Amino acid sequence: MSNTPVLEMRNIAKVFGKFYALKGVDLTVWPGEIHALMGENGAGKSTLMKILAGAYSATSGEILIDGQPYAIKSPKDALAAGITLIYQEMQLAPNLTVAENIFLGSEIARGGLVQRKEMVAQAQAVIDRLGANFNATDRVMKLTIAEQQQVEIARALHRNSRILVMDEPTAALSSRETHRLFELILRLRDEGMAIIYISHRMAEVYELSDRVSVLRDGQYVGSLTRDKLNASELVRMMVGRPLSDL
């Protein structure tokens, strides 16, 4: 494993009006790890990741990519840093094809002509690499939620993303689809991608994660590595008191 984190978020704060959604949050993510981000509803997980993806700007704090300070002021900046966030709400254009979605904003054109065949071929190659069962020419609206997620992952691969954030990706999946997604996430991890996996489901975190960081009320509580995972300790970190008091 590399000795430089692919991502460090330091002392991140985010204020909405007068409300601190995040306060002094740190997060360190290594290449080739699945890093679970846990916390109760409202803990600030999505807000932290929206800052990483350039959808929100942090009120204060610092982000380092490969050990270098990196200002993320827009989704474009995040993309350039190799960061893809797959939101809870899908971000695809339903009326466009899979290939059009994968290439959205980065269409191949020569002499003013969009090279449709070439884009379809490249998109299909990425889809096949994922082992997905749809075609590059299918319209996104006819795909299942799980397949739409695969399109988003295909887009991340196409963009050479090195940090993939998934925000509660299994919320709308069947157990079979969840199993397939986990296989894919593990494969991407083994290829060196860093995956930030937001969840409040203990079983998923146990199955997948190499490390877990916990937020509570907008604050960073701590991290546990896989060998130190302990359900009652995690619950205590998430809710701030032992399981026996609940």
Which of 12, 21, 156, 214 forms a contact with ligand ADP (CB under 6 A)? 21
Which of 1, 3, 18, 41 forms a contact with ligand ADP (CB under 6 A)? 41
Q: What's the closest the beta carbon of residue 95 comes to Mg ion, in angstroms? A: 27
Residue nearer to Mg ion on the CB measure, 46 or 149 = 46
Q: In which residue are the tokens 């995690």 written?
A: 234
Q: What's the closest the beta carbon of residue 166 comes to ligand ADP, in angstroms? A: 13
Which of 25, 27, 43, 102 forms a contact with ligand ADP (CB under 6 A)? 43
Which of 23, 29, 34, 39 forms a contact with ligand ADP (CB under 6 A)? 39
- Is there a contact between 219 and 237 (Cβ–Cβ < 8 Å)? no
Residue 155 interacting partner from Mg ion, ligand ADP, none (CB closer than 5 to 8 Å by kind): none
Residue 21 interacting partner from Mg ion, ligand ADP, none (CB closer than 5 to 8 Å by kind): ligand ADP
Residue 142 Cα to chain centre, angstroms: 24
Helix or strand or coil: residue 137?
coil
Print burial letters for 61-96: b (CB count within 10 Å at least 16), e (below 16): bebbbeeeebebeebeebbebbbbbbbeebebeeee
The piece of 45-53, 78-86, 105-113, 141-149 that touches ligand ADP (CB under 6 A) is: 45-53
Residue nearer to ligand ADP on the CB measure, 47 or 161 = 47
Residues 90-109 that bind ligand ADP (CB under 6 A): none
Rg for the chain (alpha carbons), in Å? Answer: 18
Q: What's the closest the beta carbon of residue 168 comes to Mg ion, in angstroms? A: 6
Task: Tell me the C-alpha distance between 32 and 94, whole Å.
Answer: 32
Residue nearer to ligand ADP on the CB measure, 50 or 158 = 50
Helix or strand or coil: residue 200?
coil
> What strand order describes the sheet that includes 68-69?
68-69, 60-65, 7-16, 19-29, 219-225, 211-216, 34-38, 194-198, 163-167, 83-86
Which of 12, 33, 44, 46 forms a contact with Mg ion (CB under 5 A)? 46
